[in-house]
Amino acid sequence: MPISKVLIVDTTLREGEQTPGVNFTVDEKLEIARALDGVGVHMIEAGDPNVSEDVYQAVKLIAKDGLQAEIIAHCRANVRDVDRALSCDVDRVAIFLGVTEAKLKSMRITEEEAIARVVEAVEYARSHGVKVRFTAEDGTRAKYDFLVEICRRAVEAGADRISLPDTVGIMTPWRVQEFFERVTRDVKGVEFDCHCHNDLGMAVANAIAALEGGATGVHVTVNGIGERAGITGLETLAVALKVLYGLEVVKLDKLTWLSALVERLSGVVVPPHAPVVGENAFSHKGGVHVAAVLYDPSTYEAYPPELVGRRREIVVSKYSGRHAVKARLEALGIQLSDELLEKVVEVIKSRQDVRTYRDADLIEIAEKISGVKLSPEVPSKVEAVILVKCDPNVYTTSIARRIASIKGVMEVYEVSGEYDVQVKVSAPTVSDLNDCLESIRGIKGVSGTHTHLILKSLRPIQGELS
Ligand code: HCA
Ligand code: CU
């Protein structure tokens, strides 16, 4: 079935924070919400405000940040919890209740009582003017007739979306598609979300199958984090929709950056072989692969790395042939004759102890074999960031302009905060750097400086929001 509509419901801040070890601060949540909004997700599930005071604060802050995305508060099916969610001024409340026989038993309620709880909570939320989603938790394992009944009653009570989560990740794509086809036939007047857990590694496939079956909302987290094995990953799903269906549902070239942000703030490391965002996702190692990819990338790539703001990498190891070594050396600006190249490859293949060769290793081998110094001489330089404080009664711009004319000054910014001007300087030696610093200090109106030597500079990850 063709996919007619896709709304991305990101729950990194709710489901994602349920990952063991993950605990975002309120500020981090706002930063992630803004990043998600910049990438273009349609809804952001910001948290359950009943969990704790900081989750409450975060949901409230995100709701009033003026984001494009619809902001959702998650909560249990009772008026008290709904009330707290409403007080965050969100666009939508997502009310959940477990609907399997086992869950009803554990809550000691009958099916009728469960329906009554949901109806009361949904009506209450609706009467306060917010949109309502009902989540039939563990819906894929519920008794089907009861599931249909409770969904119909939630719709009558005012829910315009229903989530049918595969809470323990036991579905297969074929079963999910059939399930959504059936429910969308049996429950009218509402749109459905899927929320696929990854316990058996099928979360992305199941989400796509749900969309094919008629779901229009798809729950994701960045990097697929969440309870246990997590849920559908935003990056993989979004790229799969593009590559397999031609649908571009979010800004794909920002996904690598978003993934790195969530990796840093969550502390959950992205495995190197993760699709789309993993370190190795666009690396080629086998000699046969490399030779073919250098001739035509489509031979071993499902899609070009540039689609997600990344680059193709050629790994040099004992698996490498002439093509790989030549390509890597050429990328370093080094051209060798065929004869010398063969020799370099021979050395590489003979070293069983080296797993991969870094650029420096390759240059070293090439230099030994050719007897020529190949590495470009890196001019030694000292770089520093200098923070400058100005007297309160002087015009900062005039000082900044004078600093800009000093030898060695590379960049000058007027900035807010404790210091007024930030300067980046580059000098051949420490003593030259010191001269530069003295010249800055000598400017009339400069009342103090603070110098940081630059130890390492990194290139930004492509795709960062401007
Ligand atoms: C939970 C359960 C949930 C809800 C999903 C949804 C699940 O942790 O509260 O609201 O759509 O997997 O069933 O994450
Ligand atoms: Cu879940």
Q: Is the pLDDT of residue 282 over 80?
A: yes
Task: Give the integer Cα–Cα distance in Å for 203 and 232.
Answer: 5
Q: How confident is the model at residue 430 (pLDDT cuts 50, 70, 90)?
A: confident
Q: Is the pLDDT of residue 466 over 50?
A: no
Q: 165 CA distance to ligand 1 centroid (A)? A: 6
The position carrying tokens 């990498």 is 313
pLDDT, mean of residues 95-103: 98
Q: Is the pLDDT of residue 176 over 70?
A: yes
Binding site membership of 259 for ligand 1 (Cβ less than 6 Å): no
> For 388-410, how does the pLDDT look when each residue is reduced to its tens digit (9 = 90+)?
999 888 888 888 888 988 889 99
Q: What is the amino acid identity at position 168?
A: V
Select the highest-mean-pLDDT range: 168-182, 365-379, 441-455. Answer: 168-182
Task: Give the integer Cα–Cα distance in Å for 277 and 332.
Answer: 25
Task: Give the integer Cα–Cα distance in Å for 131 and 129.
Answer: 7
pLDDT, mean of residues 278-297: 93
Task: Give me the percent of the chain exceeding a pLDDT of 90.
Answer: 75
Give the dihedral of Cα atoms 239, 241, 247, 250; nearest 10 deg: -50
Going by CA atoms, what residue is nearest to atom 7 of ligand 1? 167
Q: Is the pLDDT of residue 191 over 80?
A: yes
The larger pLDDT score, comparing residue 232 to residue 429, is at 232
| Distance spanning both ends of the chain, measured CA to CA | 38
Mean pLDDT (the chain, rounded): 93
Binding site membership of 167 for ligand 1 (Cβ less than 6 Å): yes
> For 102-153, how does the pLDDT look when each residue is reduced to its tens digit (9 = 90+)?
999 999 999 999 999 999 999 999 999 999 999 999 999 999 999 999 999 9
The larger pLDDT score, comparing residue 331 to residue 235, is at 235
Q: 231 CA distance to ligand 2 centroid (A)? A: 7
Q: Which ligand is nearest to the CA of 224?
A: 2
Q: Is 71 left (phi over 0), alpha (psi -120 to 50) or beta?
A: beta
Q: Which ligand is nearest to the CA of 219?
A: 1
pLDDT, mean of residues 154-165: 98
Residue 360 backbone phi and psi in degrees, to 5:
-65, -40
Tally the C-alpha atoms within 13 A of residue 41's C-alpha that lie toward its C-beta: 32
Taking the CA of residue 193 as reference, the ligand 1 atom at the shortest distance is 11
Structure tokens belonging to residue 247: 């649908």
Q: Is the pLDDT of residue 462 over 70?
A: no
Task: Give the integer Cα–Cα distance in Å for 366 and 245.
Answer: 46
Task: Give the integer Cα–Cα distance in Å for 157 and 125.
Answer: 10
Q: Check if 289 is active-site.
A: yes
Q: Which among 315, 317, 372, 376 is positioned nearest to 340, based on CA atoms? A: 372
pLDDT, mean of residues 168-175: 98
> For 340-384, how does the pLDDT look when each residue is reduced to its tens digit (9 = 90+)?
999 999 999 888 777 778 777 888 898 888 888 876 555 568 899
- Note the pLDDT of residue 456: 67
- Note the pLDDT of residue 353: 77
- Note the pLDDT of residue 431: 82
Task: Give me the percent of the chain exceeding a pLDDT of 70.
Answer: 96
Q: 59 CA distance to ligand 2 centroid (A)? A: 18
| Pocket mutation for ligand 1, best pick of 72, 96, 140, 163 (most atoms within 8 Å of C-beta) | 96
> Catalytic residue among 289, 323, 450, 452, which?
289
Q: Is the pLDDT of residue 243 over 50?
A: yes
Q: 422 CA distance to ligand 2 centroid (A)? A: 46
Taking the CA of residue 18 as reference, the ligand 1 atom at the shortest distance is 8
Residues in the chain: 466
Going by CA atoms, what residue is nearest to atom 4 of ligand 1? 137
Q: Which ligand is nearest to the CA of 225?
A: 2
Taking the CA of residue 231 as reference, the ligand 1 atom at the shortest distance is 12
Please say whether the beta carbons of 15 and 262 come within 8 A: no
Q: How confident is the model at residue 221 (pLDDT cuts 50, 70, 90)?
A: very high
- Note the pLDDT of residue 57: 98
Q: Is the pLDDT of residue 72 over 90?
A: yes
Structure tokens belonging to residue 413: 């910014």
Q: 192 CA distance to ligand 1 centroid (A)? A: 14
| The model's pTM | 0.80
Going by CA atoms, what residue is nearest to atom 14 of ligand 1? 15
Write the CB contacts of 306 (distance below 8 Å, at least 6 apart in sequence): 253
